Structure 1
Amino acid sequence: MNRFGEKAGKQRRQATLVAIVAILVVAGFAGGRLSMLLQYPIIKDKAFGNLAYAYNEIMHDYLDGAKSKALVDGAAEGMVGSLQDPYSVYLSEDKGEAYMQSYEDHFVGIGVEIRQEDGAFIIDSIIKGAPSEKSGLKKEDVIENIDGAAVKGLTFDELKSKLQGKAGSTVKLQVQRQGQAGLQTVSVVRGDVPVLTVSSEMKANGIGEITISRFAEKTAQEFDTAIASLQKQGMKALLLDLRGNPGGLLDPTIQIANRFVPKGKTIVQVVYKDEKRVLTHKSNQKEPWTLPIAILVDAHTASSAEVLTAALKDTAGAQVVGEKTFGKGIVQNFNQLKDGSVLKLTEAQWRSPDGQWIHKKGIEPNVSVAAPDYALLPRLDAGLKLTIGDYGDTVVTVQKMLQAIGYDTGTGSGVYDEATAAAVRAFQQHESLPVNGDMNDKTAYRILARLTDKFQTEDPQRNKAMDLLRAAESVASSGK
Structure 2
Amino acid sequence: MKSKKIVLLVIGAVIISVGFFYLGYSKGVLYPKEIIVRGIDNLEEDEINVNFGIFWQVWDKIKKDYIDGESAKDQDLVYGAVGGMVDALKDPNTVFFPPEDAKKFEEDVSGSFGGIGAEIGIRNEQLVIIAPLKDSPAERSSLKSNDKILLIDKTPTTGLDVNEAVKIIRGEIGTKVTLAILRNGWSEPKDFTITRETIKVPTLDFTMTDDQIAHLQLYSFNENANYLFYQAALKTLTGDARGMILDLRNNPGGYLEVAVDLASWFIDRGKLVVSEKFRSGAETAFRANGNGALKNLPIVVLVNQGSASASEILAGALRDQRGAKLVGEKTFGKGSVQEVMPLADNSSLKVTIAHWVLPSGQIIDKTGLAPDFEVKLTDEDREAERDPQLDKALEVLRLQLEPVKSS
TM > 0.5: yes
Note closer, same or farther for the CA distance 1:249–1:67 as it changes in structure 2 (3 Å cut).
farther
User: What is the CA deviation profile of residues 89-124 of structure 1, one whole-angstrom value per residue up to 9, with x for unaligned ones?
Assistant: 2233444344444443x4267x998xxxxxxxxxxx
Amino acid of the structure 2 residue aligned with 1:49: G
Note closer, same or farther for the CA distance 1:343–1:212 as it changes in structure 2 (3 Å cut).
farther
* Matches of 1:193 and 1:328, distance apart in 2: 23
Give unpaired runs (5+ residues) of structure 1.
Answer: 1-32, 114-124, 128-138, 140-152, 165-191, 376-403, 405-450
Deviation at 1:84, TM superposition (A): 1.6
Tell me the equivalent position of 1:334. 340
Deviation at 1:474, TM superposition (A): 5.0
Q: Secondary structure at the match of 1:205?
A: coil
* Matches of 1:126 and 1:365, distance apart in 2: 26
* Matches of 1:81 and 1:369, distance apart in 2: 36
* Matches of 1:352 and 1:286, distance apart in 2: 21
Identity %: 31
* Matches of 2:348 and 2:107, distance apart in 1: 12
Note closer, same or farther for the CA distance 1:330–1:158 as it changes in structure 2 (3 Å cut).
closer
* Matches of 1:244 and 1:126, distance apart in 2: 12
Tell me the equivalent position of 1:278. 283
**1:150-299 counterparts in 2 under 5 A?**
160-161=171-172, 194-231=200-237, 234-275=240-281, 277-289=282-294, 290-299=296-305
Q: Does residue 1:38 correspond to 2:49, yes or no?
A: no
Per the normalisation by structure 2, the TM-score is 0.61
User: What is the CA deviation profile of residues 247-286 of structure 1, one whole-angstrom value per residue up to 9, with x for unaligned ones?
Assistant: 34322222221221211111112111131x2111121122
* Number of aligned residues: 304
| Structure having the higher Rg | 1
Tell me the equivalent position of 2:74. 68
When the two chains are superposed, the root-mean-square deviation of aligned CA atoms in Å is 4.1
Amino acid of the structure 1 residue aligned with 2:350: K
Tell me the equivalent position of 1:452. 382
**1:251-400 counterparts in 2 under 5 A?**
251-275=257-281, 277-289=282-294, 290-337=296-343, 341-366=347-372, 368-372=373-377, 374-375=378-379
* Matches of 1:305 and 1:284, distance apart in 2: 18
* Matches of 2:64 and 2:227, distance apart in 1: 54
Tell me the equivalent position of 1:393. none
Q: Secondary structure at the match of 1:86?
A: coil
Task: Tell me, yes or no, if the aligned pair for 2:212 and 2:242 is still in contact at 8 Å.
Answer: yes
Q: Secondary structure at the match of 2:41?
A: helix
Tell me the equivalent position of 2:52. 48
Note closer, same or farther for the CA distance 1:222–1:460 as it changes in structure 2 (3 Å cut).
same
Note closer, same or farther for the CA distance 1:236–1:85 as it changes in structure 2 (3 Å cut).
same
Deviation at 1:61, TM superposition (A): 5.1
Q: Secondary structure at the match of 1:223?
A: helix
**More helix, by proportion:** 1
Tell me the equivalent position of 2:393. 465
Amino acid of the structure 2 residue aligned with 1:48: F
Amino acid of the structure 2 residue aligned with 1:69: Q
Task: Tell me, yes or no, if the aligned pair for 2:261 and 2:290 is still in contact at 8 Å.
Answer: no
Q: Secondary structure at the match of 2:350?
A: strand
Tell me the equivalent position of 1:413. none
Give unpaired runs (5+ residues) of structure 2.
Answer: 1-35, 118-133, 141-152, 156-166, 176-197
User: What is the CA deviation profile of residues 274-305 of structure 1, one whole-angstrom value per residue up to 9, with x for unaligned ones?
Assistant: 31x21111211224323221101123433322
* Matches of 1:270 and 1:107, distance apart in 2: 30
* Matches of 1:260 and 1:317, distance apart in 2: 11
Task: Tell me, yes or no, if the aligned pair for 1:332 and 1:345 is still in contact at 8 Å.
Answer: yes
* Matches of 2:401 and 2:264, distance apart in 1: 22
User: What is the CA deviation profile of residues 383-414 of structure 1, one whole-angstrom value per residue up to 9, with x for unaligned ones?
Assistant: xxxxxxxxxxxxxxxxxxxxx4xxxxxxxxxx
Note closer, same or farther for the CA distance 1:461–1:34 as it changes in structure 2 (3 Å cut).
closer
Task: Tell me, yes or no, if the aligned pair for 1:254 and 1:267 is still in contact at 8 Å.
Answer: yes
Amino acid of the structure 2 residue aligned with 1:282: R
Q: Secondary structure at the match of 1:467?
A: helix
* Matches of 2:169 and 2:269, distance apart in 1: 51
Note closer, same or farther for the CA distance 1:102–1:286 as it changes in structure 2 (3 Å cut).
farther
* Matches of 2:334 and 2:341, distance apart in 1: 21
